[in-house]
């Protein structure tokens, strides 16, 4: 048993003194000590220490991978060593990182499982404290960010996810060509974007030719300032969101004014107006076509929404531009306030909307990535800080290497 553990931990300057079983805790306690007079290393710089201090640190414990149903715990009292560079330091232990409470092997297993499960489940699985899991993942992310290979960015996506029911946001920058998260930052303000571009640096920014984002003024301004040569595109995903929101607003306003039988007619129809008709079931489609015969602002809004959907099918920019011009005219004369507002917004960002027909983004690339980030950030509610959220998104979506 001792030999097996010594080999598994790849000990050179240390050895296993004895292994005892703690029956109450269902754990194996592995006692380690220095092997003979082997040289020890400095815990800060890794240099071989010239001599040892007379006193040792009190025993520390590290959790290791479990053996069958037994938890494994290492116990060792580290030496204090004299390092030529750093002075008096605690020795380097080869089985764990400097401040880690778990061994490298367990940390690796935790980090791998945390890519697919939320942290609470990971903690339960390894019988660890949630905070230990958080510390392991954060350590893995910091290491991964330091060691990731840089690929030139061409197609950038910028989007936000909300933390805790709105109000608080994270800005996520994606490499849309590779489908990876590049950067995550707190809030969605000008300061956030400045931090991103400061981090990116002008040299790495030079390869970016297209940026896809929401019509959020802060993002637009930041892109125009820092990447004047890049094409700005507003993608279909965000435009569809705006359209759906406008339809829903018209529906709610109209619903409030309705009374009696009319109200019954439009009861529970929200999803009919917001779902794409090809995704409706037959009975639902029948109901929708009956409703469409009625003269209601909701119907008008719905038809406007469906009409703009045709815009995405054009191959020629000129035709698409013509369609958009007509649509904007109809929307601004619709006497539906949410649509006049939307038309005003689209008109002021017309170039970015039309850029779509020339660039043909991988359809739904930004949407897919954003949904993934949303799921990950919403999967664990309660105990999070912005930094744990950011670490989690990096860990699951950035494709970082593991230590």
Helix (H, G, I), strand (E, B) or coil at 71: strand
Residue among 86 and 205 whose Cβ is closer to Zn ion: 86
Nearer to Zn ion, 86 or 258 (CB): 86
Q: Which of 66, 86, 145, 205 is the binder for Zn ion (CB under 5 A)?
A: 86
Interface pattern 27-46 for Zn ion (x via CB under 5 A): ---------------x-xx-
Q: Which of 9, 81, 83, 136 binds Zn ion (CB under 5 A)?
A: 83
Query: Does residue number 85 form part of the binding site for Zn ion (CB under 5 A)?
Result: yes
Question: Which stretch, 75-83, 213-221, 330-338, 358-366, contacts Zn ion (CB under 5 A)?
Answer: 75-83
Spatial distance between the Cα atoms of 206 and 229, rounded to a whole number of angstroms: 9
Widest Cα–Cα separation across the chain: 93
Residue 44 CB, nearest distance to Zn ion (Å)? 5
Q: Closest approach of Cβ 89 to Zn ion, in Å?
A: 6
Q: Under the criterion CB under 5 A, does residue 402 sit at the interface with Zn ion?
A: no
- 47-55, 127-135, 347-355, 365-373 -> range binding Zn ion (CB under 5 A): 47-55
- As a whole number of angstroms, the distance between CA 140 and CA 110 comes to 10
Q: Terminus-to-terminus CA distance in the chain, angstroms?
A: 27
CB-wise, 44 or 52, nearer to Zn ion?
44
The residues pairing with 31 across neighbouring beta strands, listed in sequence order, are: 18, 75
Q: Give me the least distance between CB of 9 and Zn ion, in Å please.
A: 23
Least distance between Zn ion and beta carbon 46 (Å): 7
Question: Is the CB of residue 159 less than 8 Å from the CB of residue 214?
Answer: yes
* Torsions phi, psi for 95 (to 5 deg): -90, -10
Map residue 222 onto helix, strand or coil: helix
Q: Is 54 helix (H, G, I), strand (E, B) or coil?
A: strand
CB of 42 to Zn ion, least distance (A): 3
Closest CB to Zn ion among 43 and 157?
43
Is 342 a binding residue for Zn ion by CB under 5 A? The answer is no
How far apart are CB 11 and Zn ion at their closest, in Å? 21
Are 73 and 63 in contact by the 8 Å Cβ rule? The answer is: yes
Q: How many CB atoms lie within 10 A of CB 72?
A: 21
Decide whether 90 or 211 has the Cβ nearer to Zn ion: 90
Cβ at position 140, least distance to Zn ion in Å:
24
For the CB of residue 94, give the shortest distance to Zn ion in the complex, in Å. 15
Q: What is the DSSP track for 331-370?
A: HHTS--HHHHHHHHHHHHTHHHHHHHHHH-PPTTHHHHHH
Q: Which is nearer to Zn ion, 77 or 86 (CB)?
A: 86
What residues have CB less than 8 Å from 221, skipping those under 6 apart?
Answer: 190
Q: How far is CA 55 from the centre of its chain?
A: 46
Residue numbers at the binding site for Zn ion (CB under 5 A)? 42, 44-45, 47, 83, 85-86
């Amino acid at each position: 048993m001792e030999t097996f553990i010594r080999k598994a931990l790849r000990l050179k300057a240390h050895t296993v003194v004895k292994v005892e079983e703690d029956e109450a805790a269902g754990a194996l306690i592995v006692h380690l000590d220095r092997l003979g007079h082997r040289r020890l290393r400095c815990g800060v710089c890794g240099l071989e220490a010239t001599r040892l201090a007379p006193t040792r640190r009190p025993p520390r414990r590290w959790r290791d991978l479990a053996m069958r149903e037994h938890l494994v715990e290492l116990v060792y009292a580290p030496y204090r060593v004299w390092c030529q560079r750093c002075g008096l330091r605690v020795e380097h232990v080869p089985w764990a990182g400097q401040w880690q409470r778990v061994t490298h092997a367990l940390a690796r297993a935790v980090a791998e499982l945390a890519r697919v499960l939320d942290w609470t489940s990971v903690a339960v699985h390894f019988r660890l404290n949630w905070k230990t899991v958080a510390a392991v993942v954060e350590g893995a992310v910091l290491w991964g960010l330091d060691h990731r290979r840089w690929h030139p960015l061409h197609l950038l996506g910028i989007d936000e996810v909300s933390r805790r029911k709105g109000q608080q946001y994270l800005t996520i920058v994606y490499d849309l060509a590779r489908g990876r998260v590049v950067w995550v930052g707190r809030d969605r303000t000008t300061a956030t974007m400045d931090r991103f571009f400061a981090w990116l640096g002008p040299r790495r920014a030079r390869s970016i030719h297209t940026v896809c984002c929401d019509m959020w003024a802060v993002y637009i301004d930041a892109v125009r300032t820092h990447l004047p040569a890049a094409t700005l595109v507003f993608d279909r995903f965000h435009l569809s969101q705006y359209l759906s929101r406008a339809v829903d607003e018209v529906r709610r306003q109209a619903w409030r004014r309705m009374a009696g039988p009319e109200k019954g007619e439009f009861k529970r129809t929200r999803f009919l107006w917001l779902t794409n008709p090809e995704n409706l079931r037959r009975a639902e489609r029948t109901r929708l076509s009956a409703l469409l015969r009625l003269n209601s602002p909701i119907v008008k809004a719905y038809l406007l929404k469906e009409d703009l959907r045709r815009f995405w099918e054009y191959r020629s920019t000129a035709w698409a531009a013509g369609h958009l011009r007509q649509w904007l005219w109809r929307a601004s004369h619709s006497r539906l306030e949410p649509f006049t507002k939307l038309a005003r917004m689209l008109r002021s960002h017309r170039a970015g909307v039309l850029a779509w027909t020339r660039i043909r983004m991988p359809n739904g690339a930004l949407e897919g990535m954003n949904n993934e980030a949303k799921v990950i950030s919403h999967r664990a509610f309660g105990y999070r800080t912005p930094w744990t959220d950011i670490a989690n998104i990096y860990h699951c979506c950035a494709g970082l290497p593991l230590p």
